[in-house]
Amino acid sequence: MKTASREFIFFTILIDALGIGLLIPVFPDVIRRFNADPGFVHTYFGYFISVYALMQLVASPVLGALSDRYGRRPVLLISLLGAGLDYVLMAWAPTLTLLFIGRVISGLTGASMTVASAYMADVSTDENRSANFGLIGGAWGLGFILGPALGGVLGGWGGPAMPFYVAAGMNLLNFAFGLLVLPESLPQSQRRKMEWRRINPFSSLFRILKPSPIAILVWIYFCLFMAGNSHPSIWTLFTEHKFKWTAFQVGISLTCVGFCIAIVQAWLAGRVVKRIGEARSLRIGIFFYIVGFFLFAVAPLGWMMYPILVVYSISGLAQPALQSLITHGTPSNEQGELQGSLISLGSLTSILAPLLYTQLFTRFTVTGSAEYFPGMPYLVASLIGVGAFVLLFSYRRRVM
């Protein structure tokens, strides 16, 4: 594969991830342009996060099927052009309706990772396949680490619209780069017609949630993702409300979250699992989910969130251990379907979690209310972790 094509795919994935992280610190301020009522801001913040995830869930198989039919290059380039123009629309949007439409479009165009991954698969060989897909994972992780910090800095410097303009510029520059350097990777002879049954995003969810030997592990996976999605759903609102953090402080803290989890999953998890096994690693990880979210819920001072982040990051042991257990319980000829189904399940939690946590936050942050407790969403996330722990205990009793 030509170096320029590798660079294009890398930057496409990086920009997709950056685009998500860039906006989280400033989205509440953007919504306040239309209505400053806290309950309104909290509710619509949840809607905007959920609709993005919903559009990605729906669009990913559609864009993949379109690229199978018409080629990877046109779908990637149209997605980048659409994303660039859409970010400009959201920065400028004079009404909440237009902003919401822009968020829907950004979810549709942001699903281009599916096509970028297919492009990488087309041009990889047995010798470089692992390295090429490692490049994709690295770009995605780097974007999630850098995005919130960059969004916080830009929002603090140029106002809430600035991260949108920067995201637009990055997408449009990458579109121009792709026009010049990106060849088509899928020959005409290998293209196939679109079949609607193949692009139903919910069929894989039905398959993976049905009774099976790994069903309990799959429900644990669902619980951990529901708990973990409390961060993108509520962290900005929670820290702004309780500790009066600025967009810059929110962005830096979210970057710390991503960095700590990345260190645990990329460096520590493999060593711990090798030493103590998958089951014990999973138990330890779930335990720190429970403890971490409880401490977030009750922390009285903002500076305490950083040492709690270090404690919480140990929960990063759970995901690799759990995925390994699920994989071991699935036949080798079903692994592709399994991984796609797990991604769909994770996307479902990205839709449901913002609605749950922002509604809880709105309910328990009414000033003067006897039920005032801003940490309630994190307390619920901790309880969901307890549910995962109970399911794990049930699974161990069944297999022992």
* CA–CA separation, 199 and 67 (whole Å): 12
Whether pLDDT at 309 is above 80: yes
Confidence of residue 120 (pLDDT cuts 50, 70, 90): confident
pTM: 0.84
Express each pLDDT in 190-245 by its tens digit.
787 776 666 676 776 777 777 677 889 999 999 999 999 998 899 999 999 999 99
pLDDT at 168: 94
Whether pLDDT at 248 is above 80: yes
Express each pLDDT in 143-188 by its tens digit.
878 889 999 999 988 889 999 999 999 999 989 988 988 888 878 8
Of 263, 262, 266, 252, nearest in space to 306 by CA: 252
Name the DSSP letter for residue 271.
Answer: H
* CA–CA separation, 225 and 347 (whole Å): 9
pLDDT at 181: 85
pLDDT at 62: 81
* CA–CA separation, 210 and 398 (whole Å): 17
Bigger pLDDT: 68 vs 343? 68
Average the pLDDT over 122-149 and give the result: 76
Highest-confidence range of 212-221, 261-270, 286-295, 331-340, by mean pLDDT?
286-295
- Cβ atoms < 10 Å from Cβ of 236: 27
Of 166, 196, 170, nearest in space to 13 by CA: 170
Would you list the DSSP string of 164-195? HHHHHHHHHHHHHHHHHH----S-GGG-----
Express each pLDDT in 17-56 by its tens digit.
888 888 889 999 999 999 999 999 999 999 999 999 898 8
pLDDT at 365: 93
| Residues 231, 237, 240, 246, CA torsion sign | positive
Average the pLDDT over 3-22 and give the result: 82
pLDDT at 173: 92
Name the DSSP letter for residue 111.
Answer: G
Express each pLDDT in 370-394 by its tens digit.
889 999 999 999 999 999 999 998 8
Express each pLDDT in 85-103 by its tens digit.
999 999 999 999 999 999 9
> Average per-residue pLDDT in the chain?
86
pLDDT at 113: 75
pLDDT at 1: 47
φ, ψ dihedrals at 382, nearest 5°: -65, -40
| Residues 372, 374, 375, 380, CA torsion sign | positive
pLDDT at 64: 80
Average the pLDDT over 249-264 and give the result: 88
In degrees, rounded to 5, the angle at the alpha carbon of residue 275 between the alpha carbons of residues 270 and 276 is 105
Tokens of 197: 């049954």
pLDDT at 400: 43
φ, ψ dihedrals at 191, nearest 5°: -85, 155
Identify whether the C-beta of residue 144 lies closer than 8 Å to the C-beta of residue 255. Answer: no
Express each pLDDT in 208-217 by its tens digit.
777 677 889 9
pLDDT at 166: 94
Q: Delineate the domains of the chain, giving CATH numbers in brackets.
A: 1-185 (1.20.1250.20), 202-400 (1.20.1250.20)
Percent of the chain residues topping a pLDDT of 90 = 45
